[in-house]
Amino acid sequence: MIEVALYLIPVGLSDAELSRVLPQHNIQVVREIKHFIVENVRSTRRFLKKCDRDIDIDTLTFYELNRHTRPDDIPAMLKPLSSGEAMGVISEAGCPAIADPGADVVAIAQSRGLKVIPLVGPSSILMGLMGSGFNGQSFAFLGYLPIDASQRARKFKEMEQRIVRESQTQIFIETPYRNNALVAELCRTMPPHIKLCIATNITGDGERIITRGVKQWLTMLPDLNKVPTIFLLYK
Amino acid sequence: MIEVALYLIPVGLSDAELSRVLPQHNIQVVREIKHFIVENVRSTRRFLKKCDRDIDIDTLTFYELNRHTRPDDIPAMLKPLSSGEAMGVISEAGCPAIADPGADVVAIAQSRGLKVIPLVGPSSILMGLMGSGFNGQSFAFLGYLPIDASQRARKFKEMEQRIVRESQTQIFIETPYRNNALVAELCRTMPPHIKLCIATNITGDGERIITRGVKQWLTMLPDLNKVPTIFLLYK
């Protein structure tokens, strides 16, 4: 029997076999949970079936938590946990509450003194950083960069300063259909002493994590249109 | 057969069974590697035996990479990889190259165009963040805080500003025997609207990840002396 807690349950980032990216323990935890707070019900069902094809999905309750959820509806989702039943949080890819929904429900659980247990799983942020060769003693994840041109230029300048002055690796993502524009812009704008790591399809078939100077990238820009990618900058 | 690459191989953070914190795939990769760049040979041997008690340690080569290693000695460690043999990087706890040695050898591999493959494993930074309920769309890991009192006070101020102005979660660690002093100082210094998450013994028996306001913590300071802990601040 598992502990009564809010389990944060990572899912894969790619089509890789679960045994490649998740500990066996996670599958055991999943099997014992009846109430799931999920970003997307359909993809969660698919994930649960991949964990164990014998899971009886019809006996489970799903609470949807995504950008369409009204904040006022979140606290009530934790009722089963408050009355002694383990719950799980599952996002669409990777680790819930990291660059994905989930943090708000965890915050409510914390404020009520409910136990929270994160499980191990793949994170493109962390795996990109490991593979980049950049500073892992000091780094920041910024999420999506601003779209507005002047705000974006300011953000680029700020990232450059934090790399130079604080030796802090800067990590960010972009809406996948804008990846190519972002890389071209970055490599043109950043000074030559800045390095860019492009990490694509992490844990997937075509995984590539490659670090080069920005001016070197300019001469060999890859096609990243709609490819799952994480970007890292350092000196 | 595994690909020829530099594999970044996480180890456990606690005494937990490996099946709790590592995917089965990692064990298969470890079994096929003969050359390891490691932070500590003794703890690596113990880890490898835990992965598979039939591994013949005497057929393996270890290259030690830690704060005693001369930077000039690092490039030569990659010779087996350059000549077509897979290599592994293993640190003392958690993920290599994240708040741990390894990034420098990865940087050299990248500069030579050698393939780097990170594997999934436990990271106290990421798991602490997942469990905290803090912002996972924007966060920074700062490593160890400065020891010097005035530098430290400046760092506290800077963290507070980044929380307030940038909504950026601030994550850091302390030398374990100074944990108690740090928490007391933080809770006294930070304004009441700041929350502190104390995450101890992640993946271990006494795992506790608890978020409270700094002034609330002041009335119930836990004893963290020499307890593996990660600290997170947010609003």
- What is the value of ipTM here, to two decimals? 0.96
Token pair listed for A26: 């996670």
| Chain-chain contact of A110 with B25 (C-beta, under 8 angstroms) | no
The residues in B 76-95 lying below 8 A from A, measured between CB atoms, are 95
B-chain residues within 8 Å CB-CB of A25?
A: 17, 19-21
Model confidence band, residue A84 (pLDDT cutoffs 50, 70, 90) = very high
The helix/strand/coil state of A195 is strand
| Chain-chain contact of B107 with A134 (C-beta, under 8 angstroms) | yes
Rounded to whole angstroms, the Cα distance separating A220 from A205 reads 22
CB pairs under 8 A between A and B: 173
How far CA B88 is from CA of A7, A205, B160, B182, B193, in Å, comes to 31, 20, 39, 35, 45
- The torsion of the CA quartet A213, A219, A221, A222, rounded to 10 degrees, works out to -100
Mean pLDDT calculated for residue range A183-205: 96
Q: Which residue of B has its CA nearest to A24?
A: B19
A-chain residues within 8 Å CB-CB of B163?
A: none
A-chain residues within 8 Å CB-CB of B146?
A: none
| Chain-chain contact of A132 with B106 (C-beta, under 8 angstroms) | yes
User: Beta B6-8 vs B35-38: how paired, if at all?
Assistant: unpaired
Closest approach of B74 to chain A, Cα-based (Å): 13
Token pair listed for A222: 């890859």
Question: Is A141:A199 a contact under the CB 8 Å cutoff?
Answer: no
Report the Cα A126 to chain-centroid distance in Å.
9
What is the model's pLDDT at position B67? 85
Percentage above 90 pLDDT, chain A: 89
* pLDDT values of chain B reduced to their tens digit, one per residue, 235 residues: 899 999 999 999 988 899 999 999 999 999 999 999 999 999 999 999 999 999 999 999 999 998 899 889 999 999 999 999 999 999 988 899 997 778 999 999 999 999 999 999 999 999 999 999 999 999 999 999 999 999 999 999 999 999 999 999 999 999 999 999 999 999 999 999 999 999 999 999 999 999 999 999 999 999 999 999 999 999 9
Q: Which residue of B has its CA nearest to A119?
A: B127
Question: Is A12:A227 a contact under the CB 8 Å cutoff?
Answer: no
State pLDDT tens for residues B43-82: 999 999 999 999 999 999 999 998 899 889 999 999 999 9
Residue in B111, B139, B202 nearest the CB of A141: B139
Report the Cα B192 to chain-centroid distance in Å.
29
User: Beta B139-144 vs B116-118: how paired, if at all?
Assistant: unpaired
Residue type, A176: P
Task: Give yes or no for A231 touching B (CB within 8 A).
Answer: no
Token pair listed for B220: 């119930």
Q: By C-alpha distance, which of B82, B100, B94, B81 is closest to B36?
A: B81
Q: Average pLDDT over chain A, rounded to whole?
A: 95
Residues 6+ apart with CB under 8 A from B96: A130, B8, B9, B10, B39, B89, B90, B102
Mean pLDDT calculated for residue range A161-174: 97
B-chain residues within 8 Å CB-CB of A209?
A: 116-118
pTM (global) more than 0.80 = yes
Question: Is B123:B14 a contact under the CB 8 Å cutoff?
Answer: no
| Residue ranges of E strands in B27-158 | 35-38, 61-64, 87-90, 116-118, 139-144
Residue type, A142: L
User: Beta B35-38 vs A208-213: how paired, if at all?
Assistant: unpaired
